[in-house]
Protein backbone atom coordinates (compact mmCIF):
# COMPACT_ATOMS: atom_id res chain seq x y z
CA UNK A 1 0.00 0.00 0.00
CA UNK A 2 1.35 3.41 -0.97
CA UNK A 3 0.46 4.93 2.41
CA UNK A 4 2.74 2.37 4.08
CA UNK A 5 5.56 3.33 1.71
CA UNK A 6 5.17 6.98 2.73
CA UNK A 7 5.04 5.91 6.39
CA UNK A 8 8.29 3.97 5.96
CA UNK A 9 9.89 7.05 4.41
CA UNK A 10 8.77 9.15 7.40
CA UNK A 11 10.37 6.63 9.74
CA UNK A 12 13.63 6.74 7.77
CA UNK A 13 13.61 10.54 7.92
CA UNK A 14 12.97 10.36 11.65
CA UNK A 15 15.90 8.00 12.11
CA UNK A 16 18.16 10.15 9.94
CA UNK A 17 17.20 13.31 11.82
CA UNK A 18 17.69 11.53 15.17
CA UNK A 19 14.07 12.17 16.15
CA UNK A 20 13.64 8.56 17.29
CA UNK A 21 16.86 8.57 19.28
CA UNK A 22 16.27 11.94 20.91
CA UNK A 23 12.66 11.17 21.82
CA UNK A 24 13.52 7.72 23.15
CA UNK A 25 16.33 9.07 25.31
CA UNK A 26 14.10 11.84 26.67
CA UNK A 27 11.28 9.48 27.57
CA UNK A 28 13.66 6.88 29.01
CA UNK A 29 15.40 9.49 31.17
CA UNK A 30 12.13 10.83 32.58
CA UNK A 31 10.62 7.37 33.04
CA UNK A 32 13.74 6.05 34.77
CA UNK A 33 13.80 9.09 37.05
CA UNK A 34 10.22 8.44 38.09
CA UNK A 35 10.87 4.71 38.43
CA UNK A 36 13.88 5.19 40.70
CA UNK A 37 12.60 8.17 42.69
CA UNK A 38 8.84 7.83 42.48
CA UNK A 39 8.86 4.29 43.82
CA UNK A 40 10.87 5.26 46.89
CA UNK A 41 7.79 5.36 49.19
CA UNK A 42 6.98 1.75 48.36
CA UNK A 43 9.33 0.43 51.00
CA UNK A 44 7.56 2.29 53.79
CA UNK A 45 3.95 1.88 52.78
CA UNK A 46 4.24 -1.41 50.90
CA UNK A 47 2.96 0.22 47.73
CA UNK A 48 3.52 -1.55 44.46
CA UNK A 49 6.35 0.43 42.81
CA UNK A 50 5.07 -0.18 39.29
CA UNK A 51 1.57 1.02 40.18
CA UNK A 52 3.06 4.18 41.69
CA UNK A 53 5.09 4.75 38.52
CA UNK A 54 1.95 4.31 36.39
CA UNK A 55 0.31 7.19 38.26
CA UNK A 56 3.42 9.39 37.93
CA UNK A 57 4.08 8.57 34.28
CA UNK A 58 0.44 9.03 33.28
CA UNK A 59 0.53 12.55 34.74
CA UNK A 60 3.80 13.32 32.94
CA UNK A 61 2.61 11.84 29.66
CA UNK A 62 -0.30 14.27 29.44
CA UNK A 63 2.19 17.13 29.14
CA UNK A 64 5.06 15.48 27.26
CA UNK A 65 3.60 13.18 24.62
CA UNK A 66 1.16 15.69 23.04
CA UNK A 67 3.99 18.23 22.75
CA UNK A 68 6.32 15.71 21.07
CA UNK A 69 3.49 14.59 18.76
CA UNK A 70 2.77 18.14 17.64
CA UNK A 71 6.47 18.87 17.10
CA UNK A 72 6.64 15.81 14.86
CA UNK A 73 3.59 16.61 12.78
CA UNK A 74 3.00 20.37 12.58
CA UNK A 75 4.93 20.72 9.28
CA UNK A 76 3.93 17.40 7.72
CA UNK A 77 2.22 19.05 4.75
CA UNK A 78 3.12 22.74 4.86
CA UNK A 79 6.78 21.88 5.38
CA UNK A 80 6.80 19.74 2.25
CA UNK A 81 5.18 22.59 0.34
CA UNK A 82 7.71 25.17 1.55
CA UNK A 83 10.59 22.86 0.63
CA UNK A 84 9.10 22.37 -2.83
CA UNK A 85 8.83 18.60 -2.46
CA UNK A 86 5.05 18.35 -2.15
CA UNK A 87 4.42 18.81 -5.88
CA UNK A 88 7.08 16.20 -6.60
CA UNK A 89 5.47 13.77 -4.19
CA UNK A 90 2.02 14.27 -5.73
CA UNK A 91 3.50 13.79 -9.20
CA UNK A 92 3.82 10.11 -8.35
CA UNK A 93 0.76 7.84 -8.65
CA UNK A 94 -0.33 8.46 -5.08
CA UNK A 95 -3.60 9.84 -3.76
CA UNK A 96 -3.74 12.80 -1.45
CA UNK A 97 -5.39 10.77 1.28
CA UNK A 98 -2.55 8.28 1.09
CA UNK A 99 -0.05 11.08 1.65
CA UNK A 100 -1.83 12.26 4.81
CA UNK A 101 -2.44 8.77 6.18
CA UNK A 102 1.11 7.69 5.38
CA UNK A 103 2.64 10.67 7.14
CA UNK A 104 0.45 10.19 10.21
CA UNK A 105 1.25 6.47 10.35
CA UNK A 106 4.97 7.14 10.08
CA UNK A 107 4.97 9.80 12.77
CA UNK A 108 2.84 7.66 15.09
CA UNK A 109 5.30 4.82 14.54
CA UNK A 110 8.21 7.10 15.52
CA UNK A 111 6.35 8.17 18.65
CA UNK A 112 5.33 4.59 19.40
CA UNK A 113 8.89 3.28 19.15
CA UNK A 114 10.15 6.01 21.46
CA UNK A 115 7.33 5.46 23.97
CA UNK A 116 7.66 1.68 24.12
CA UNK A 117 11.45 1.76 24.42
CA UNK A 118 11.56 4.69 26.84
CA UNK A 119 8.82 3.50 29.17
CA UNK A 120 9.91 -0.11 28.74
CA UNK A 121 13.32 0.80 30.17
CA UNK A 122 11.67 1.98 33.39
CA UNK A 123 9.62 -1.21 33.64
CA UNK A 124 12.78 -3.26 33.10
CA UNK A 125 14.59 -1.50 35.95
CA UNK A 126 11.69 -2.08 38.33
CA UNK A 127 11.47 -5.73 37.29
CA UNK A 128 15.17 -6.20 38.03
CA UNK A 129 14.75 -4.53 41.42
CA UNK A 130 11.87 -6.82 42.29
CA UNK A 131 8.84 -6.12 44.44
CA UNK A 132 6.47 -5.62 41.52
CA UNK A 133 3.09 -7.31 41.85
CA UNK A 134 1.81 -9.35 38.92
CA UNK A 135 -1.42 -7.33 38.78
CA UNK A 136 0.50 -4.10 38.06
CA UNK A 137 1.96 -5.19 34.73
CA UNK A 138 -1.31 -5.00 32.81
CA UNK A 139 -2.05 -1.40 33.92
CA UNK A 140 1.50 -0.44 32.95
CA UNK A 141 1.14 -2.01 29.50
CA UNK A 142 -2.23 -0.29 29.11
CA UNK A 143 -0.63 3.02 30.10
CA UNK A 144 2.05 2.59 27.43
CA UNK A 145 -0.54 1.64 24.80
CA UNK A 146 -2.86 4.51 25.60
CA UNK A 147 0.13 6.88 25.66
CA UNK A 148 0.73 5.95 22.02
CA UNK A 149 -2.98 6.49 21.31
CA UNK A 150 -2.86 9.91 22.98
CA UNK A 151 0.18 10.80 20.90
CA UNK A 152 -1.57 9.57 17.75
CA UNK A 153 -4.52 11.90 18.40
CA UNK A 154 -2.19 14.88 18.63
CA UNK A 155 -0.21 13.75 15.59
CA UNK A 156 -3.49 13.77 13.67
CA UNK A 157 -4.31 17.23 15.03
CA UNK A 158 -0.85 18.49 14.08
CA UNK A 159 -1.27 17.12 10.57
CA UNK A 160 -4.68 18.80 10.37
CA UNK A 161 -3.12 22.12 11.33
CA UNK A 162 -0.46 21.56 8.67
CA UNK A 163 -3.11 21.18 5.96
CA UNK A 164 -4.97 24.35 6.96
CA UNK A 165 -2.15 26.92 6.76
CA UNK A 166 0.38 28.12 4.19
CA UNK A 167 3.46 28.78 6.33
CA UNK A 168 5.43 26.64 8.78
CA UNK A 169 5.55 29.46 11.31
CA UNK A 170 1.76 29.65 11.32
CA UNK A 171 1.51 25.89 11.68
CA UNK A 172 3.96 25.98 14.61
CA UNK A 173 1.93 28.67 16.34
CA UNK A 174 -1.28 26.73 15.77
CA UNK A 175 0.33 23.57 17.18
CA UNK A 176 1.42 25.44 20.31
CA UNK A 177 -2.11 26.77 20.66
CA UNK A 178 -3.56 23.27 20.38
CA UNK A 179 -1.18 22.03 23.09
CA UNK A 180 -1.96 24.91 25.42
CA UNK A 181 -5.71 24.52 24.93
CA UNK A 182 -6.02 20.77 25.52
CA UNK A 183 -3.24 20.32 28.09
CA UNK A 184 -3.54 23.48 30.20
CA UNK A 185 -6.44 25.79 29.41
CA UNK A 186 -9.33 23.34 28.97
CA UNK A 187 -9.15 21.80 32.45
CA UNK A 188 -8.54 25.18 34.05
CA UNK A 189 -11.62 26.61 32.36
CA UNK A 190 -13.67 23.53 33.24
CA UNK A 191 -12.63 23.75 36.88
CA UNK A 192 -13.61 27.42 36.92
CA UNK A 193 -17.04 26.57 35.50
CA UNK A 194 -17.58 23.83 38.09
CA UNK A 195 -16.57 26.11 40.96
CA UNK A 196 -18.85 28.89 39.73
CA UNK A 197 -21.74 26.54 39.01
CA UNK A 198 -21.62 24.73 42.40
CA UNK A 199 -23.46 21.76 40.89
CA UNK A 200 -26.57 23.72 40.00
CA UNK A 201 -26.43 23.23 36.22
CA UNK A 202 -23.49 20.98 35.37
CA UNK A 203 -24.44 17.57 36.67
CA UNK A 204 -22.51 14.36 36.41
CA UNK A 205 -23.67 13.39 32.88
CA UNK A 206 -22.72 16.84 31.60
CA UNK A 207 -19.34 16.64 33.36
CA UNK A 208 -18.64 13.23 31.83
CA UNK A 209 -19.53 14.60 28.39
CA UNK A 210 -17.27 17.62 28.87
CA UNK A 211 -14.37 15.39 29.90
CA UNK A 212 -14.79 13.37 26.71
CA UNK A 213 -14.15 16.54 24.69
CA UNK A 214 -10.48 16.49 25.68
CA UNK A 215 -8.29 13.51 24.73
CA UNK A 216 -5.93 14.29 27.63
CA UNK A 217 -8.81 13.95 30.09
CA UNK A 218 -9.92 10.68 28.49
CA UNK A 219 -6.37 9.36 28.83
CA UNK A 220 -6.18 10.50 32.46
CA UNK A 221 -9.51 8.93 33.37
CA UNK A 222 -8.59 5.62 31.80
CA UNK A 223 -5.21 5.25 33.46
CA UNK A 224 -6.21 6.60 36.88
CA UNK A 225 -9.45 4.72 37.38
CA UNK A 226 -9.87 1.52 35.38
CA UNK A 227 -7.40 -0.59 37.40
CA UNK A 228 -7.96 -1.02 41.13
CA UNK A 229 -4.24 -1.56 41.72
CA UNK A 230 -3.51 1.89 40.27
CA UNK A 231 -6.56 3.90 41.37
CA UNK A 232 -5.76 3.23 45.02
CA UNK A 233 -2.51 5.21 44.57
CA UNK A 234 -3.88 7.91 42.27
CA UNK A 235 -5.83 9.54 45.09
CA UNK A 236 -8.89 9.76 42.88
CA UNK A 237 -11.61 7.61 41.51
CA UNK A 238 -11.71 9.96 38.50
CA UNK A 239 -13.71 13.15 38.03
CA UNK A 240 -16.47 10.89 36.80
CA UNK A 241 -17.71 7.63 38.25
CA UNK A 242 -15.64 4.77 36.75
CA UNK A 243 -18.74 2.61 36.61
CA UNK A 244 -20.38 5.18 34.33
CA UNK A 245 -17.25 5.50 32.18
CA UNK A 246 -16.08 1.94 31.54
CA UNK A 247 -12.70 1.29 29.98
CA UNK A 248 -14.06 0.23 26.54
CA UNK A 249 -15.95 3.52 26.26
CA UNK A 250 -12.87 5.54 27.16
CA UNK A 251 -10.76 3.62 24.63
CA UNK A 252 -13.41 4.13 21.95
CA UNK A 253 -13.48 7.88 22.62
CA UNK A 254 -9.68 8.04 22.50
CA UNK A 255 -9.74 6.17 19.18
CA UNK A 256 -12.32 8.65 17.89
CA UNK A 257 -9.92 11.45 18.79
CA UNK A 258 -7.47 9.83 16.38
CA UNK A 259 -9.93 9.13 13.58
CA UNK A 260 -11.77 12.46 13.57
CA UNK A 261 -8.76 14.81 13.13
CA UNK A 262 -7.28 12.41 10.60
CA UNK A 263 -10.48 12.43 8.55
CA UNK A 264 -10.62 16.23 8.72
CA UNK A 265 -6.97 16.44 7.63
CA UNK A 266 -7.66 14.21 4.65
CA UNK A 267 -10.70 16.29 3.69
CA UNK A 268 -8.79 19.55 4.07
CA UNK A 269 -5.87 18.30 1.97
CA UNK A 270 -8.23 17.08 -0.75
CA UNK A 271 -9.51 20.65 -1.12
CA UNK A 272 -6.14 22.36 -0.73
CA UNK A 273 -4.93 24.29 -3.76
CA UNK A 274 -1.22 23.85 -4.48
Q: Write the pLDDT tens digit of every residue in 24-72.
A: 888 888 888 877 775 554 444 455 667 777 888 888 899 999 999 999 9
List phi, psi (to 5°) of 118: -65, -50
pLDDT of residue 46: 52
pLDDT of residue 233: 54
Q: Decide which of 121 and 111 is more confident.
A: 111
pLDDT of residue 263: 97
Alpha helices for the chain (secondary structure H): 2-16, 19-33, 42-45, 49-73, 78-83, 86-91, 96-129, 137-164, 168-179, 186-197, 204-211, 215-225, 228-234, 247-271
Q: Is the pLDDT of residue 119 over 60?
A: yes
Q: Is the pLDDT of residue 193 over 70?
A: yes
pLDDT of residue 130: 66
Q: Decide which of 240 and 262 is more confident.
A: 262
pLDDT of residue 239: 47
Query: What does the mean pLDDT of the chain come to?
Result: 85
Residue extents of the structural domains in the chain: 2-271
pLDDT of residue 234: 53
CA–chain centroid gap for 147, Å, is 5
pLDDT of residue 250: 93
Q: For residue 272, with 0-12 CB atoms within 10 Å meaning exposed, 13-18 middle and 19 or more buried, which class applies?
A: middle
Mean pLDDT of 99-120: 93
> What pLDDT band is residue 132 in, cutting at 50, 70 and 90?
low
Q: Decide which of 209 and 204 is more confident.
A: 209
Q: Closest Cα to residue 62, out of 179, 230, 235?
A: 179
When mean pLDDT is compared across 119-128, 211-220, 244-253, the lowest value belongs to: 119-128
Mean pLDDT of 3-9: 91
Yes or no: say if 155 and 107 are a contact pair by the CB < 8 Å rule: yes
CA 89/CA 99 separation, integer angstroms:
8
- Would you list the DSSP string of 37-79? IITTTHHHH---HHHHHHHHHHHHHHHHHHHHHHHHHTTTTHH
Q: Decide which of 202 and 257 is more confident.
A: 257
Give the model confidence (pLDDT) of 242-268 as tens digits: 445 788 999 999 999 999 999 999 999
Q: Which residues contact 44 (CB under 8 A, 6 or more apart)?
A: none
pLDDT of residue 163: 95
Mean pLDDT of 87-114: 92
CA–chain centroid gap for 63, Å, is 9
The long-range contacts involving 79-87, CB below 8 angstroms and separated by at least 24 positions, are 79/162, 79/168, 79/171, 81/166, 81/274, 82/167, 82/168, 86/274, 87/274
pLDDT of residue 48: 61
Yes or no: say if 53 and 35 are a contact pair by the CB < 8 Å rule: yes
Q: Closest Cα to residue 228, out of 242, 207, 209?
A: 242
Yes or no: say if 230 and 224 are a contact pair by the CB < 8 Å rule: yes
Q: Decide which of 64 and 205 is more confident.
A: 64
Amino acid sequence: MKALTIAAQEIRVGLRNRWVLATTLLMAALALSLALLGSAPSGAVKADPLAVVVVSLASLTIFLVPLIALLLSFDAIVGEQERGTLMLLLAYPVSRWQVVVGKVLGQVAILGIATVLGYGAAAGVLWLNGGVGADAWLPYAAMVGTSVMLGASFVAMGCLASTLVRERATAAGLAVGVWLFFVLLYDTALLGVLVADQGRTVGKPALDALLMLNPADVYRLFNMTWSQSVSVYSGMAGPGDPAALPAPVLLAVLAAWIAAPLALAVAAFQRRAL
